[in-house]
Amino acid sequence: MRWYVARRLLWAIVATFVILSITWALLYVTEQQALTSIQFQAAVSGGDAEAARAAYEQQRGLDRPLWRQYTDYMTNMATFNWGYSTSRGQPVTAAIADALPYTMMYSVPWTILTVALGLSIGLYSATHQYSRFDYAATFVAFFGYAIPNFWFGIVLLVVFGVHLDMVPIVFDPDAPVFSLANARQLVLPVFVLTTGSIASLTRYTRAEALEYVEATFTKTAKAKGVSERRILLLHVLRPAAVPLSTILVADLLGLFIASSYLVEVVFGIPGLGQLSFKAIQNQDTPLVLATTLVGVFIAVIGNLLQDVAYTVLDPRIDYGDR
Amino acid sequence: MGQRHEQRTERQQGTPLLSVRDLTVEFDTDRGPLRAVDGVEFDVEQGETVCLVGESGSGKTVTAETITKLIRMPPGRVVRGVAELDGRDLLSLSERELRRVRGNRIAHVFQDPQHALNHCFTVGWQIREAIQVHEDVSDAAARERTLTLLDQVGIPDATTRYDDYPHEFSGGMKQRIVVAMALAANPDLLIADEPTTALDVTIQAQVLDLLEAVQAEYDMSILLITHDLGVVAELADRVVVLYAGKVMERGSVYEVFDAPAHPYTQVLFDCLPGRGRPLRSIGGRLPDLHDPPPGCRFAARCDYARDECHTGDQPPLYDVEETQTQTASCVYHGPSGDPAVLRDGHSAGESDG
Amino acid sequence: MSTDTPRRRFEDIDWEANHGIAVGRQTAGFLTTLAALAVVFAFDYVREAPLFSPNPLFRDGWDLTQLDWLFVVSLSLFVFYVLVPLATHRRMTAHYWREFRKNRAAVVSLWFLIVVFTLGLVGPLIVSKPQVALTQSYQPPVGLSVDSTVPLSCVGDVVGGRCHGNWQFPLGTTGDGKDILSLVVLGMRVSIRIGLITSFLIISIGATVGTVAAYVGGLVDEVLMRYVDIQQVFPSFLLYLLLIYLFGGSLLMFILVFGLFSWGGTARLVRSAALQRSEDEYVEVARCAGAGTAHVIRRHILPNVSGTVITNLTLLIPGLILFEAGLAFLSLGDPTIPSWGQTIAAGRSDLRTAWWISTVPGVFLFLTILAFNFVGDALRDALDPRSEVE
């Protein structure tokens, strides 16, 4: 088992390596494009195209041999030397460290709520299939998924912020983390995110649980005299947790990365999503790259955790070799 | 434990351990209600083995699983009838009271050992749970008892196997574990639903031997569901033949095997090779249980069917002449019938209805 | 219950044996259409002017873009491999329809999607491109009114200081006077393009990679699946962000990124089904009978996973449409394409005074996603053999 985890870890590192190489290649292509346009502009304005090219190459370090550029890039990435953000006037790593807490502030309650509500509603739906609650849960889940996050966020802001004056319209980044003010300004983002993400978990939990609710081993447990609740929480949820762990990562992580952009922009939360969004607007390449890569690293780590969770949860998986 | 022994001694002489009367179960389907079991009646006496026999779809499993309400409800629904354990109707018990019966007094062994155990828990854990659900004993004591049980059902190296997961056992071993789990709370009745169908032939015999052995050791009754007449001959004291949700014939195993009284039972035995008669297959199919035709359920496939077989209700279970306990739901055994017709036609191996 | 009569499933259809001529025609029809398209494409490529100059039918003329070509190819694939088989196998279609009809919400949703699809297909030919006209700004929809100080001038009637909606703009206008009805119809076009083209890309690449990996096996399988691993790890959303930052955004880019990098799941599905099937007896029999690999794939593997793949798509497409709207809202989308997200973003700052600008396209977006979900759910019940209950 330890060997299996080590292999997955190694694989995660290889995947990261490949992804970094791809981004380097993309950057290289754009730099070449920029170079061509600079030469073209220099030529048009009567300057020396060759000199302009040399100056640009000098400035961007493009005069180094290709291999050197690549290794330097990878070394910088590995040593967290991610460059300097011109738009923020601080190192990229510092900007990310500043933004990260704000993202955590709404994503932690969001994750907890989604998992708790999604699992319990899904389980209840599965055991009360085709009941009124089941239909209502299905509808609410679909409703939450179908309503565009950003639009829902704005509408809620207008209703509860402007008309009812129950929540602040402008996010106050200086509010203490554990304070009523902070809770009030985080209620809507967490609500909007949860309604958006609960659907898939509810539906999958329902489907997976249904499979096990009807399984022979559930009947065995019932025949032993085990109570309904214990059957649900142990005999059904435990095997269902195996496929659900996959969905948690695969579905929710993707949703999370995209939603965090929209929600942070709509609610003005200065987290990673907004940092990245502003970096794109300000043409701040090192920051764009770094914030994107942070998302990718989160995805890589999420996938790694998912693989490990899978083997821990399902005793049938033979992690000896393979 | 003690309380239960009291109950057992309290039981009046002559009251069967389990008594099923007029059991009728329907399932709601897209095409309307489906009557899977219709007026089934039989008894299981203390210490005896009763076999429910019939082809698939005849309602054997539904009958067995309705006794402790294991069927899913809805779509399932008990229309009427009682299932009395020591004179107490199980079907009218609350869920909480039923839980004290399940496993504790009536245990189940299901057909498919591959899926009867939860793949996410060790076998030790699962057997221990069966003990601790009914008895307030410490983990250590429950573990001790689990090891004894595993030993009893013939799992070698029980101590080391305790923490193994189900997938680390073979099919036959899994069925032994399921049996051990059924024995965990020392039940009075073991309901075994085709316990050997999914196993290899050699393993089948071992599991049947095991059932016989534990029956003697625990002084249990067994309600065995099977379509394998060889198994019936080996284990059964009495036989109940089901067809399309109705009881066709009942009787002691000797009587039924010696002289099957109902045309359906006769055909069923003719399907069995090595009985000295030419092998036959039953023509036709089970009647539609959504809307069964009037008269005897078997009439459409019966070689002896008369006009009256196609009208009215299923004939009552008439006593078969010259037998002690055998009854058959067939007009030829009734007041207006002549059972000789069946016997003649049967022994001649001809069919000239 | 064992009383069920055997039913034919979508994947059970003998796609070629019994209807050899019909399906042969189907493939031939598809290839002919592709060939015809290639000719028109070549003609269009050589000719510099738009294929259709402005005329009464196509009001603004019609210069076919790469996106249009992709769309037409996807559309013909859809017609020949979804609509034609459904029309040919009447009994099977009737059976699915019976199953599907049980879910009433799904039936309503399907009709809604058909309307959206039809409007999105022909609407842009009828509806003119909305023009900026400041004098017509902030008109409320029919049946609603707004304080007459909001619009510059009221097209409809002004009663008691309130400007009422007028049939000239049934759904009102935006802050720069664009007709919201036209914007909604054009937004449908964007949505069905995203849906159809990405499905086309995902199915064709996913199915190809999955079957190749399963049948060639060995190193090829290993390399392809490891690639899928990496692709699955890299969130398409971030890749798209990176690409639009580096190269600039367009709808074509969006569709290509999400189409070309979302097929991993489909490929894995097809591969595992293919591996499983290849051990099944009937495939062995087909092999022994001398059937080629391509034949086995087409005839036995693809039909078997079609239910699951289609169901997955009905759940994937709404996600992509939402993504596009979200990106358009962040103004990271294609600014030249009048998508619903674009309009929602445009009305964002007017939400307090002219709430309909964001809300009308928002409701359409919401209904479309909702409809896809209901249809997908019903399809899963009807098509996916794994989730068959009783």
Task: For residue range A162-213, list pLDDT tens digits in order.
Answer: 788 787 877 878 878 788 888 888 888 999 988 888 887 887 888 888 878 8
Residue A226 has its nearest CB partner, among B65, B115, B133, at B133
User: Long-range contacts of range B85-89, CB-CB < 8 Å, 24 or more positions apart?
Assistant: B85/B17, B85/B18, B85/B188, B85/B189, B86/B7, B86/B8, B86/B11, B86/B15, B86/B17, B87/B11, B87/B12, B87/B15, B87/B19
Residues in A 212-231 with any Cβ partner in B closer than 8 A: 214-217, 219-228
pLDDT of residue A321: 37
Task: Judge whether residue B197 has pLDDT over 50.
Answer: yes
Q: Which of A307-311, C355-359, C368-372 has the highest mean pLDDT?
A: C368-372
Task: For residue range C211-227, list pLDDT tens digits in order.
Answer: 788 777 778 888 888 88
Query: What integer is the mean pLDDT of A86-102?
Result: 87
- Predicted confidence band at B50 (pLDDT cuts at 50, 70, 90)? very high
How do beta strands C158-159 and A84-85 pair? Answer: unpaired
Taking the CB of residue C153, how many other CB atoms lie within 10 A of it? 13
* Cα B338 → chain centroid: 31
Q: What share of chain C is helix, strand, coil (3-state, %, to 5)?
A: 70, 5, 30
Task: Judge whether residue C3 has pLDDT over 60.
Answer: no
pLDDT of residue A298: 83
pLDDT of residue B350: 38
Task: Judge whether residue B223 has pLDDT over 70.
Answer: yes
Nearest CA to C188 out of C296, C116, C288 is that of C116
pLDDT of residue C289: 63
Determine, for residues A151 and C365 on separate chains, whether the beta-carbon distance falls below 8 Å. yes
Q: Cα separation of C80 and C30, whole Å?
A: 6
DSSP helix/strand/coil, B193:
strand
Query: What integer is the mean pLDDT of B283-289?
Result: 72
Query: What integer is the mean pLDDT of C335-354?
Result: 79
Q: Which residue has the higher pLDDT, A258 or C308?
A: A258
Nearest CA to C368 out of C309, C328, C334, C320 is that of C320
How do beta strands A84-85 and A90-91 pair? Answer: antiparallel
pLDDT of residue A148: 85
CA distances from A25 to A28, A167, A284, B145, C200 (A): 5, 46, 18, 66, 28
CA distances from B32 to A124, B72, B287, B291 (A): 26, 17, 15, 9
pLDDT of residue B353: 33
Q: State whether residue C5 sits within 8 Å of chain B by CB.
A: no
DSSP helix/strand/coil, C164:
strand
Residues of C whose CB is below 8 A from A150: 325-326, 329, 344
Buried residues in B182-215 as b, exposed as e (16+ CB within 10 A): bbbbbbbbbbbbbbbebbeeebbebbbebbeebb
Determine, for residues B57 and C390 on separate chains, whether the beta-carbon distance falls below 8 Å. no
Query: What integer is the mean pLDDT of C151-175?
Result: 74
Residues of B whose CB is below 8 A from A228: 95
Q: What are phi and psi of B82, to 5 degrees?
A: -135, 155
Q: Cα separation of C256 and B19, whole Å?
A: 70
Task: For residue range A272-305, list pLDDT tens digits in order.
Answer: 888 888 888 888 888 888 888 888 888 888 888 8
Q: Cα separation of A113 and A269, whole Å?
A: 20
Q: Can you list the positions of beta strands (E) in chain C?
A: 145-147, 158-159, 162-164
3-state helix/strand/coil string of chain A: CHHHHHHHHHHHHHHHHHHHHHHHHHHHHHHHHHHHHHHHHHHHCCCCHHHHHHHHHHHHCCCCCHHHHHHHHHHHHHCCCCCEECCCCEEHHHHHHHHHHHHHHHHHHHHHHHHHHHHHHHHHHHHCCCCHHHHHHHHHHHHHHHCCHHHHHHHHHHHHHHHCCCCCCCCCCCCCCCCHHHHHHHHHHHHHHHHHHHHHHHHHHHHHHHHHHCCHHHHHHHHHCCCHHHHHHHHHHHHHHHHHHHHHHHHHHHHHHHHHHHHHHHHCCCCHHHHHHHHHHCCCHHHHHHHHHHHHHHHHHHHHHHHHHHHHHCCCCCCCCC
Radius of gyration for chain A, computed over Cα atoms and rounded to the nearest angstrom: 25
The pLDDT mean for chain A works out to 82
Handedness of CA B112, B116, B119, B125 (dihedral sign): negative
Q: Cα separation of C365 and B177, whole Å?
A: 56
Task: Judge whether residue C59 has pLDDT over 60.
Answer: no
Task: For residue range B340-353, list pLDDT tens digits in order.
Answer: 777 655 543 333 33
Residue given tokens 């003119």 in the structure block: C128
Taking the CB of residue A142, how many other CB atoms lie within 10 A of it? 24
Residues of A whose CB is below 8 A from C326: 148-150, 258, 261-262
CA distances from C242 to A30, A72, A284, B234, B272 (A): 11, 21, 12, 74, 73
- Predicted confidence band at B33 (pLDDT cuts at 50, 70, 90)? confident
Residue C233 has its nearest CB partner, among A138, A145, A299, at A299
The answer to whether B52 and B223 have CB atoms below 8 angstroms apart is yes
Task: Judge whether residue B298 has pLDDT over 50.
Answer: yes
DSSP helix/strand/coil, C328:
helix
Q: Can you list the positions of beta strands (E) in B86-117?
A: 88-89, 106-109
Radius of gyration for chain B, computed over Cα atoms and rounded to the nearest angstrom: 21
Query: What integer is the mean pLDDT of C131-140?
Result: 73
Query: What integer is the mean pLDDT of C331-345?
Result: 80
Residues A116, A207, B70, CA angle at the centre, nearest 5°? 100
Residue given tokens 């058909």 in the structure block: C114
Task: Judge whether residue A16 has pLDDT over 80.
Answer: yes
Determine, for residues C3 and B288 on separate chains, whether the beta-carbon distance falls below 8 Å. yes
Task: For residue range B151-191, list pLDDT tens digits in order.
Answer: 888 888 888 888 888 888 888 888 889 888 888 888 889 99
Residue given tokens 């195996």 in the structure block: A242
The answer to whether C38 and C97 have CB atoms below 8 angstroms apart is no
Give B93 to chain A, closest Cα distance, Å. Answer: 14
DSSP code, position C13: S
> Which residues, other chains included, contact B12 with Cβ-Cβ below 8 Å and sequence gap of 6+?
B87
The amino acid at A132: R
**Element of type H or E holding B218:** helix B201-218
pLDDT of residue C131: 72
What are the beta bridge partners of residue C173? C179
- Predicted confidence band at B214 (pLDDT cuts at 50, 70, 90)? confident
Query: What integer is the mean pLDDT of B44-71?
Result: 87
Determine, for residues C1 and B56 on separate chains, whether the beta-carbon distance falls below 8 Å. no
pLDDT of residue C63: 54
Give C174 to chain A, closest Cα distance, Å. Answer: 16
The pLDDT mean for chain B works out to 81
Task: Judge whether residue A320 has pLDDT over 60.
Answer: no
What are the beta bridge partners of residue A90? A85
Query: What integer is the mean pLDDT of B134-154?
Result: 88
**Element of type H or E holding B226:** strand B221-226
Determine, for residues A223 and B68 on separate chains, whether the beta-carbon distance falls below 8 Å. yes
- Predicted confidence band at C318 (pLDDT cuts at 50, 70, 90)? confident
pLDDT of residue C294: 64
pLDDT of residue C387: 43
Q: How many contacts, defined by CB atoms under 8 Å, are there between A and B?
A: 77
Q: In the complex, which subunits touch B with 3 or more CB pairs below 8 angstroms?
A: A, C
User: Long-range contacts of range C108-112, CB-CB < 8 Å, 24 or more positions apart?
Assistant: C108/C371, C108/C374, C109/C370, C109/C371, C109/C372, C109/C373, C109/C374, C109/C375, C110/C371, C110/C375, C112/C367, C112/C368, C112/C371
Nearest CA to B121 out of B179, B190, B177 is that of B177
- Of all residues in chain B, the one with the smallest CA distance to A219 is B70
Determine, for residues A154 and C358 on separate chains, whether the beta-carbon distance falls below 8 Å. yes
Task: Judge whether residue A248 has pLDDT over 80.
Answer: no
Q: Cα separation of C218 and C220, whole Å?
A: 6
What are the beta bridge partners of residue B19? B43, B84
Task: Judge whether residue C384 has pLDDT over 60.
Answer: no
Determine, for residues A224 and B101 on separate chains, whether the beta-carbon distance falls below 8 Å. no
pLDDT of residue C61: 45
Determine, for residues B120 and A215 on separate chains, whether the beta-carbon distance falls below 8 Å. no
String of DSSP letters for C79-112? IIIIIHHHHH-HHHHHHHHHHHHT-HHHHHHHHH
Residues in C 247-286 with any Cβ partner in A closer than 8 A: 247
Query: Lowest-confidence range among A13-27, B92-106, C1-15, C173-187?
Result: C1-15
pLDDT of residue C50: 56
- Of all residues in chain C, the one with the smallest CA distance to A200 is C315
Q: Which of A106-115, A161-170, A198-207, C166-175 has the highest mean pLDDT?
A: A106-115
pLDDT of residue A256: 78
Determine, for residues B29 and C2 on separate chains, whether the beta-carbon distance falls below 8 Å. no
DSSP code, position B251: E
Task: Judge whether residue C9 has pLDDT over 70.
Answer: no
Query: What ipTM score was computed for the predicted complex, to two decimals?
Result: 0.81
Handedness of CA B45, B50, B56, B61 (dihedral sign): positive
pLDDT of residue A219: 87
Percentage above 70 pLDDT, chain C: 76
CA atoms within 13 A on the CB side of C383: 22
Q: What are phi and psi of B246, to 5 degrees?
A: -115, 150
Q: Cα separation of A298 and A293, whole Å?
A: 8
Tokens representing B216 are 């003697």
Residues of C whose CB is below 8 A from A253: 235
Radius of gyration for chain C, computed over Cα atoms and rounded to the nearest angstrom: 24
